[in-house]
Every structure is written in structure tokens, then in C-alpha cells.
């Protein structure tokens, strides 16, 4: 992972992610997202920063 790999935010119960031009990419549901663009991460989706993967849950 990069020093500042990605940014996450919560907005009205949704999780959003933006890749910060990382070297190894940010992936939502197995698809690499473009740097600098906010993408919604649906609940239950996989979110990966380089080799580190999470499942997103919203409570």
C-alpha cells in the first residue's frame, strides 16, 4: 500500500472511496477504480487496497 493510498468517506449511510494515485490500485468488487474519482462501495462488497482486502458493512 502507498503512504496515502485511498480516501474513504461516509455519506448518508453509504461508503465512498477515492484512489489517491496509488501504485497498486484500489479495487471495488474486483474492478480497479480510476484515481481521483469517488466511487460508492455497496454494502457487502469487497474493497481492496493493493494486497489488502476488506468486506464493507454499514451499520
For the chain, the structural domain boundaries read 6-55
Per-residue pLDDT at 3 exceeds 80: no
E-strand stretches of the chain: 6-11, 14-19, 26-28, 31-32, 39-41, 46-49, 52-55
Closest CA to 28 of 10, 55, 7, 3: 55
Q: What is the mean pLDDT of the segment spanning 22-26?
A: 92
Nine-digit cell string for 58: 454499514
pLDDT band with cut points at 50, 70 and 90 for residue 36: very high
Q: What is the mean pLDDT of the segment spanning 25-35?
A: 95
How far is residue 56's CA from residue 3's CA, in Å, rounded to a whole number? Answer: 22
Q: Are 14 and 58 a contacting pair, CB within 8 Å?
A: yes
Q: Which CATH class is domain 6-55?
A: mainly beta
Percentage above 90 pLDDT, the chain: 73
Amino acid at each position: 500500500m502507498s503512504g496515502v493510498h485511498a480516501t474513504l468517506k461516509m455519506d448518508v449511510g453509504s461508503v465512498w472511496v477515492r484512489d489517491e494515485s496509488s501504485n497498486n490500485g484500489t479495487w471495488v468488487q474486483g474492478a480497479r477504480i480510476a484515481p481521483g474519482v469517488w466511487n460508492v462501495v455497496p454494502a457487502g462488497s469487497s474493497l481492496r487496497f493493493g494486497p489488502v482486502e476488506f468486506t464493507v458493512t454499514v451499520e
